[in-house]
Structure 1
Amino acid sequence: MKTPSSARSWAGLFRICTAALALLALSGCASVFLVDNQVRSYARWADRPTPPGASAPVTIPQAPQVFRFARLPSQQDNRSGAGQDDLEKLATLSLAKVGWTPAAAGVTAPWTVEVSAGTLRLPRAPWESPYDGYLGGGFGPGFGFPGRDYVVTGTGQIIYAPLFLRMETPYYQREVSMVIRHAASGRVVYETRAAHDGRWNSSNALWLAMLDAALRDFPAPPEGLRQVNIEVPR
């Protein structure tokens, strides 16, 4: 018995799609993902006190420089202490790239650095509808309607499905911030923030990319909001 031409066509299309997906998966394993950040920085180096006898404001400090970390009271308790330790280790790596390193024991640091980070976990992306992506009784993907007892499958078939299984992918909004102060006076001389949102799970590589983005163009950043993209190996 001969196979109908339409069936052969669908079978061939299926094989092509399967092969294409396999190639895409293989290429993705060796690729990078893009961490796109919205960055805003403020440099106020001239706001620190002028040394005695100086006739002009102090110029922007050039690398190398040494600093020490300073923590807010909320970053010092037992619940956030361990996480703050990890964040400061990553910030140390980012600051080292611009020539700033922690002061050795017994060395007076002219600068203090505060670093903080936060994550808001959403059940779905802001533009996604809560009614999308229902699965009905193992029948495959379709569009569910809360309060109804059926789903409409991708082929247009209506299937009875009294229970819906909601398939959602979390969406994350993240931000890191860094504040540098003149240690002797406590005046803020540099502030920067980087914000990123997406579906990537939390990882050191992701946070390090955001910190690197926050320090882009340090110590003399351009004014206004700018986008800084960092590529991270998968």
Structure 2
Amino acid sequence: MNIHRSLTRTLKALGLAVALLVLNGCATAYLVDNQVQSFPRWADQPGVKPGTPVTVPQAPQIFRFERLPSQRDGRVATGQDELENLAALALAKVGWTAAAPGTAAPWTVQVDANTLRLPRAPWDSPYGGGYWGGYWGPGFGYGMPGRDYVVTGRGQVIWMPMYPAMAMESPYYKRDVTLVIRHAASGKVVYETRAAHDGRWNSTNGLWSAMLDAALRDFPAPPEGLRQVNIDVPR
């Protein structure tokens, strides 16, 4: 009997230790895996003659944010404020600083974020993965209700109501963030970069910051082509 009780206590202690290890492991960080593609066009600066070696601007540099008309009003403007604050922190890590209000800057930066919310991961779909339902919307961390559709296996988009039966738990998100840098005086685009991530993580500043950091990886002279950039985000 004593041996049985001792074994029971040992197993309970072992189970508790394993549970604590799992919880601690889950509590440390989560992975934000990004697909990143960048397009440097520094040769498009005014005054650069064809065939001239490209002069990539070195830090420090000063920039100001610019917005599209759709980013200036209402709820979108509020989200854009927060997104630009996060972008400013990411740009500061590569030596680019936002100019003080009313101060001229040689560069402008436009930042945009989009979210596609799916009711479930594609592989969880009861339709066998050939159909998705959800809504897409521009802006920082949210979508636009009422844009409900499915995408067939052939890439066709079919608009349809989002019935309650389709609104399953564990939504799945497809997100992307894009930064476009322009020569302020001419308006020419000299750098474009995009990071895309999909997963079940809820929208947080940490997640968007990781995506912005990924988009600016290897700035201002990134490698060609699509690449994966993984960033661990503390919980």
Q: Give SS of 2:231's match.
A: strand
Match of 1:90 among 82, 86, 103: 86
The question of 1:27 aligning with 2:28 is answered no
Instruction: String of CA shifts for 1:193-232, please: whole Å, max 9, x gaps.
Output: 0000111111000000000000000000000000001111
Give distance in 2, aligned partners of 1:224 and 1:191: 13
For the aligned residue pairs, the C-alpha RMSD in angstroms reads: 3.1
Matches of 1:181 and 1:173, distance apart in 2: 27
Match of 2:40 among 43, 51, 66: 43
Mean CA deviation greater in 16-25 or 61-70: 16-25
Q: How many residues are matched?
A: 194
TM-score normalised by structure 2 residue count: 0.73
Residue 215 (1) aligns with residue 212 (2): no
Specify the SS of the correspondent of 1:193: strand
Contact 1:50 1:58 in 2 (8 A): no
CA distance in 2, matches of 1:212, 1:232: 11
Matched, 1:190 2:191: yes
| Whole-Å separation in 2 of the counterparts to 1:73 and 1:167 | 35
Amino acid across the alignment from 2:63: F
- Separation in 2, partners of 1:122, 1:129: 10
Q: Which runs of 5+ in 2 are unaligned?
A: 2-9, 129-164
What SS class does the counterpart of residue 117 from structure 1 fall into?
strand
**Pair 1:90–1:47, CA change in 2 (3 A):** same
Shift of 1:105: 3.7
Q: Which portions of structure 1, spanning 4 or more consecutive aligned residues, are displaced by more than 4 angstroms?
A: 12-19
CA–CA distance in structure 1, aligned partners of residues 197 and 96 of structure 2: 24
1:28 deviates by 2.0
1:27 to partner: Cα distance: 3.1
User: What percentage of aligned pairs have identical amino acids?
Assistant: 68
TM-score, normalization by structure 1: 0.74
Q: Which amino acid aligns with 1:200?
A: W
Residues 111 and 19 of structure 1, relative CA distance in 2, 3 Å threshold: same
